[in-house]
Amino acid sequence: MEQLNKRVRDDLAKIQYATGNWCIPHKHDGEDVLDVAIIGGGQGGLATCFGLKRRGITNTCIFDTAPKGGEGPWVTFARMLTLRTPKYVTGPDLGIPSLTPQSWYEARYGAAAWHTLDKISRQDWQAYLDWVRDVLALPVKNEHELIDIEWQDKLLKLTFSCAGGVKKQIWARKIVLATGIEGGGAWHVPDFITKALPKTRYAHTCEQIDFEKLRGKRIGVLGAGASAFDNAATALEHGAKQVNLCLRRKKIPSVNPYRWMENAGFLSYFSELDDLTRWRFMRRIYDLNQPPPQDTFWRCRSHPNFAFHTGTPWLSVREEGKDVVVTTPHGEMRFDFLIIGTGFVIDLAQRPELAKIASHIALWRDCFAPPEDEQNTLLGSHPYLGERFQFLPRNASDPLAPMLASIHNFTFSATPSMGLSGSSISGMRYGVEKLTFGIGRDLFVQDGEKHLQSLLDYNVDELVSLEPPQFA
């Protein structure tokens, strides 16, 4: 690993041209102002910070709610054995060979181990991200939860809740929201479940679950996505008596659109398409959904006490003695505990940091009217972003428009506008390039007059002698 660390430093030194900081320092009431505050210390936040650094924007800081090593889902609520992406997909390395997952894996386990590897384990992925953070010396402040964003004096005033309930305020010119899958809303449990059952009888797949307590229990799982199958498998491996997985669809999704999307054309240029074409792309992608990987499916099917039920939505639930009774179109099912794999909703108002300004942010339904037979409520709820991932105002004359232009949304909710980006390993490199170019453009243009003055003041002689050198 030490040899690899040296390779990284050597590689970056060879391509360091024009990566020195060029941003002009800003102050507010004597306090330093960050050029960019990045919210989220997972893979998207780390890659964004590195991308900005490569463009000479170094007055940045990453803030994450979790303690160090617990950023993102990988060692918290992710329950897959391995990543769902192929091992050759790259991300936070941004094209630097020595920073790729392969280089890290071979340095740690050997080239032969990489050759025989199918997919990277989630624990190794977290260890790789920790290494990227350390070897690049990226500035991260853990246990900082963003709870409010205000606009004062043409700057963003960020309020964080820190360890021990301490409040801290940071000033920034720009902010990047790299808060992952749920960064555009909240994890979702249907109302008919939350209103009918005490919290002790169910959990969402995003929550901490004590699977040992499910040993010998009858478990009902709702959902067709990979996380539903991951949690079903985990319950089975911890000795659940029976696991029944139910899904609304008449067949389990089998086609993975992510594999199609992993080409430079789509990853680079999707956001340049017109609205109708982007809408049609996303309707198809969202309709296909992402299926459970083959190994995840077999992980469940290897247990004789597992069953799945297609075309079986849950219509209602109730508690009846020791049982949780689920009503389906095919009759009732009885369980001891429910695991809910119904994903998340896109609703900016449910994000604490955006709650006060959510009503000002343009959504797709505000900006685009699809043909009558191509309506999609879910797509319409996503924010309609500008070309630099920035929020746009619903009303062009909104006084908060400059504030919204300073907030860049690098979460999953950016997908209909920008394609795969911050919350997807597959699209990260291309998304970071577009995001950091746009941020750098804004920062330079905002200070254009100051940069001009810097040139006018520049007076470093390169020609220092008019006489030829004297040789002996």
181-194 mean pLDDT: 96
122-129 mean pLDDT: 97
Return the closest-CA partner of residue 38 out of 67, 68, 58.
58
The pLDDT of residue 196:
98
| 446-456 per-position pLDDT tens digit | 999 999 999 99
The pLDDT of residue 445:
98
Domains with residue ranges and CATH for the chain: 2-184+345-451 (3.50.50.60), 189-254+291-342 (3.50.50.60)
Query: DSSP character for 83?
Result: -
**Sequence letter at residue 381:** S
> What are the phi and psi torsion angles at 62 (to 5°)?
-100, 135
Distance, C-alpha 470 to centroid of its chain: 63
Split at pLDDT 50, 70, 90, the class of 147 is: very high
The pLDDT of residue 290:
81
Q: How far apart are CA 135 and CA 371, in angstroms?
A: 50
Percentage of residues in the chain having pLDDT higher than 70: 100
Task: Supply 215's token pair.
Answer: 């040993």
**Sequence letter at residue 454:** S
Split at pLDDT 50, 70, 90, the class of 143 is: very high
| 392-441 per-position pLDDT tens digit | 999 999 999 999 999 999 999 999 999 998 788 989 999 999 999 999 99
Task: Supply 53's token pair.
Answer: 């650094």
25-51 mean pLDDT: 97
For residue 472, pLDDT over 80 is answered with no
231-245 mean pLDDT: 98
Q: 366 and 379 in contact (C-beta within 8 Å)?
A: no
Per-position DSSP letters for 306-370, written without gaps between them: EEEETT----EEEEETTEEEEEETTEEEEESEEEE---EEE-GGGSTTTTTTGGGB-BHHHH---
Q: How far apart are CA 313 and CA 250, in angstroms?
A: 10
Query: What is the average pLDDT score of the chain?
Result: 96
377-394 mean pLDDT: 98
Task: Establish how many alpha carbons lie within 13 A of residue 468's alpha carbon, considering only the half-sphere containing its beta carbon.
Answer: 3
Three-class SS state of 389: coil
pTM: 0.95
Query: 434 has which bridge partners?
Result: none
63-79 mean pLDDT: 95
For residue 281, pLDDT over 80 is answered with yes
Q: With 0-12 CB in 10 A as exposed, 13-18 as middle and 19+ as buried, what is 463?
A: exposed
Return the closest-CA partner of residue 161 out of 173, 172, 169, 149.
169
